[in-house]
Structure 1
Amino acid sequence: METRYAYVARLLMEAIADGRYPVGSLLPNEHALADQFAVSRATVRAAMRELQNSGLISRRKSAGTRVEATAASPASGFSQNLESIEAVQQFGAETERHLEGVADIVADADLAASLDCQPGRRWLRVSFLRRIPDSPAALPICWTDVYLDADYGDLLRERVASHSGIYGTLLEAVSGRRIVEIRQRIRAVGVPPSCAAALQAEPGSHALAIRRQYFLSPYSMAEISLSIHPAERYSYQSVLKRQGDTRSKPSS
């Protein structure tokens, strides 16, 4: 269930994004917002903290609450020391998602260890294949299970099928909070029998497993994705630079 402060924060975030509160403008005071949304001033203050943590507003005593310039062009990606082709494709339009199932899940001991969460935690699991568009004969790129915080399950379940972008942006929209960190782990595994047929791969054959944990402000884990990439369908590239080296890159 969506909390009251998250509801207020989400509606204010949408109003800022739509230009109803342009950059540099002042938001109504706490009393006015409490009346507008029929909530307490404490709820409004909690919503304001979320927007402030997200960099959308600044608050100064006697000066009001002002919409910041970052609200006009919020960051759409995350800088990483190492980048994978799949991670880049995930943010773009080069691959498409084929939904395989949506289910309510309670993490048992084994799943909790894979997700790095507490056993008994409830999630909405969304399972899908990624494919190259307009290439029906091409093998699937990966199988992914995305685990979304069950507190937002009712709101998310209505939208996951029609949402074409990454689920992190959908989670931000329904929670009214900003993703502040993504942690990534990559390890070698065998293709699990549970998704081998869908991937058209031999069970136990070489693959890479990528786990990404998404943290909403202020640092609460609200999404986890587990992706399985058969080895021959995955490429990983990194660039390492010596610190302090300012030489320009040679032309190709």
Structure 2
Amino acid sequence: MGQRTASSAARAKSERATGARTPEKRAGGARARSEPLYVQVVSTLKEEILKGVHPVGTQLPSEDLLADRFSVSRHTIREALRRLRDDGLIASRQGAPTTVVRPAAGSGAYVHEIDSINDLFSFVSALQFQIDSVEVVTANAALAQQLGANVGEKWLRIEGFRFPADDKTAACWMEVFVHEDYAGVARLLAHNKGPIFELIETLYGERIVEVEQTLRTSPMPAQAAATLRTEPGETSVEVIRTFRIASGKTAEVSIAHYPADSFTFSMTLRRTR
């Protein structure tokens, strides 16, 4: 025990004298030189948690192992873990391991957990759509490929940001494309903050029975970066959803960009036999 305490004390002294060689410092970035050591540890662990490196319900390495990994003192690790607890990403109690938990509401981390199409509808409905622009566009070759449409088709394009209820921090930037057959929803947009597919169902009596969803990384669009507190071109999580009615026809395609460091996707798979 005395040897471990001496080792931690020596590590802390080394930090004060020269600064520990954390992963960020080894990269030589200006960010690493300007941020306290615990902030660098928080940033790395938070990114790993949100990317699923440490799944919900699993335990983080011990303080000693984390201190060795980041070449910092246990005091620095404790401060980093305290910040992660404040963010609602981990939970711990005296004498028990630190466990990764589902981010709490208002933590700034958006957990996308899907078990059924109804869960997807609930997730989408929980975010309010603040519309910035509406226009009718004609699909060129690039847009037609993106939407799975035909060149020359007309689509109602709706652009804006989605916000959690009672939160002024945007969750994502979104483009919604509505097939021209359902473009009449445009007249209802001024009084609607919910999902567009609900307007299609209400106004046209159609029912969305299938949603195809694709997640991929892509550069953050320049027009979205400032509001989402990122830089243009930084990695974002792009979520593309294609909404189809019973006939198989595509009624709507939505394309959303989330900051990569605040998005987690969770899906439950069950055996059917």
Tell me the TM-score normalised to structure 1 length: 0.57
Query: Equivalent residue of 1:161, what SS?
Result: helix
Residues 1:181 and 1:243: Cα distance change in structure 2 (over 3 Å):
closer
Matched ranges for 1:109-188 at <5 A: 109-136=141-168, 138=169, 140-153=170-183, 155-188=184-217
Q: CA separation of 1:178/1:89 partners in 2, compared to 1, >3 Å: closer, same or farther? A: closer
Match of 2:228 among 171, 178, 199: 199
- Cα offset, 1:86, TM superposition: 7.8
1:212 paired with 2:241, answer: yes
| Aligned residues of 2:225 and 2:232 also touching (Cα < 8 A) | yes
1:156 touches 1:170 (CA, 8 Å); kept in 2?
yes
Q: 2:209, 2:245 within 8 Å by CA — same for their partners in 1?
A: yes
Q: Any stretches of 5+ residues in structure 2 without a counterpart? A: 1-113
Query: 1:181 & 1:96 partners in 2: Cα distance?
Result: 22
Check whether the contact 1:149–1:222 (CA below 8 A) recurs between aligned residues: yes
Code of the residue aligned with 2:195 in structure 1: it is I
Number of paired residues?
160
Runs (5+) with no aligned partner, structure 1: 1-79, 245-252
> In the aligned structure 1, how far is the partner of 2:272 from the partner of 2:252?
33
- Deviation at residue 181 of structure 1 after TM alignment: 1.0
Does the Cα contact within 8 Å between 2:130 and 2:193 map onto a contact in 1? no
1:141–1:234 Cα contact (<8 Å) kept: no
In structure 2, what is the Cα distance between the partners aligned to 1:97 and 1:86? 16
CA root-mean-square deviation:
2.5
Residue in 2 that maps onto 1:102: 134
Q: Which runs of 4+ in 1 moved over 6 A?
A: none
| In structure 2, C-alpha distance between the alignment counterparts of 1:198 and 1:87, rounded to whole Å | 25
The two structures have a TM-score, normalised by structure 2, of 0.53
CA contact (8 A) 1:82 1:238 kept: no
Q: 2:125 aligns with which of 88, 91, 102?
A: 91
In structure 1, C-alpha distance between the alignment counterparts of 2:224 and 2:217, rounded to whole Å? 16
- Give identity over the alignment, percent: 27
Deviation at 1:200, TM superposition (A): 3.0
- Structure 2 contact 129–195 (Cα < 8 Å) conserved: no
- Would the alpha carbon gap of residues 232 and 128 (structure 1) be closer, same or farther in structure 2, given more than 3 Å must change? same
Task: State the distance in 1 between where 2:144 and 2:249 align.
Answer: 16
How much does 1:173 deviate?
Answer: 1.9
1:230-245 to 2 correspondences below 5 Å? 230-241=259-270, 244=273
User: Residue type of the partner of 1:210?
Assistant: V
CA contact (8 A) 1:82 1:237 kept: no
Against the structure 1 CA distance between its residues 98 and 212, is the aligned structure 2 distance closer, same or farther, given a 3 Å change threshold? Answer: same
Amino acid in the other structure paired with 2:163: R
> Which residues of 2 match residues 3-82 of structure 1 at below 5 A?
none
Larger Rg: 2
Give, in angstroms, the shift of residue 175 of structure 1: 1.8
- Which SS does the other structure have where 2:225 is aligned? helix
**Which structure carries more relative contact order (alpha carbon 8 Å, separation 6+)?**
1
Name 1:248's counterpart in structure 2: none
